[in-house]
Amino acid sequence: MYVIIFSTIIKQGVDEKLFQCDKPEETAEIILSTYCFLFDPGIFSWTHEQVYNKTKALADLLECGLMAPKGSMQFLCE
């Protein structure tokens, strides 16, 4: 279900010329897999600073990967 939501958002961003992405469904799966694994407290015990830094890095990666405007994914860090 979440993959459908994320891929729909990515497709909408492509349609609105905000993103460039040839494979929205696969990209959504990778984003969710990374997020769920990296931030699973049963696997990792990150400090708040580490979580912030990883979230910032993920936001930067999403901007680059989707060719989104710089700073557009920084809401993830709030």
Summarised one tens digit per residue, pLDDT across range 50-75 is 999 999 999 999 999 999 999 999 99
| Spatial distance between the Cα atoms of 35 and 17, rounded to a whole number of angstroms | 25
The structure's pTM equals 0.84
The per-residue pLDDT for range 10-43, each reduced to its tens digit, is 999 999 999 999 999 999 999 999 999 999 999 9
Residues 6+ apart with CB under 8 A from 14: 20, 21, 24
Distances (CA, A) of 46 to 22, 54, 55, 57, 68: 33, 10, 12, 15, 28
Q: CA-CA distances (angstroms) from residue 53 to 21, 27, 42, 44?
A: 25, 22, 19, 14
Domain chopping of the chain, boundaries: 2-77
* Domain over 2-77 is classified CATH 3.40.630.10: no
